[in-house]
Amino acid sequence: MAESDGTKYLRIALLLVGLIFIFGIYPLTILWPSGWAWHTSGHSDYLQMILGIYATLGIFLIVASRNPLAHLSLIWFTVWSSVVHGGIMAAQSLVNTEHMGHLWGDVLALFLVAAVLAILTPRGFAAKAG
């Protein structure tokens, strides 16, 4: 049976998001710290922890890209945790105006990841039929 276009695009999105989570976040914290790094003065234990968590999630998303329908719970975890994480950061950016750059950096990126994966991930019968 041929792979549906939706599943093909989901596989590509999972692979790209996984690679960005592994290799893309750290360079962004250096190139655009006001949009990607929360505690930029000196050494940040927080940044090391968040990079480790996202790199780990990235590895699992790459594994999931091979057979997305077998990893729906991981995909939906990525969607909803991105919405929650982005929502908390958005609220913090609005309250602490020195973090407003994050609304156009990591906050927007997390909402974009959540939207793309949510749109491409099949639900209900479509998920069971795959």
pTM, two decimal places = 0.90
Q: What range defines the domain where residue 57 resides?
A: 5-129
Predicted local confidence at residue 43, as pLDDT: 77
| Average confidence (pLDDT) over 26-31 | 93
Instruction: Give the total number of structural domains in the chain.
Output: 1
Q: How many C-alpha atoms does 110 have within 13 Å on its Cβ side?
A: 21
Closest CA to 113 of 95, 86, 89: 86
Predicted local confidence at residue 1, as pLDDT: 38
Gap between the Cα atoms of 47 and 58, Å rounded: 16
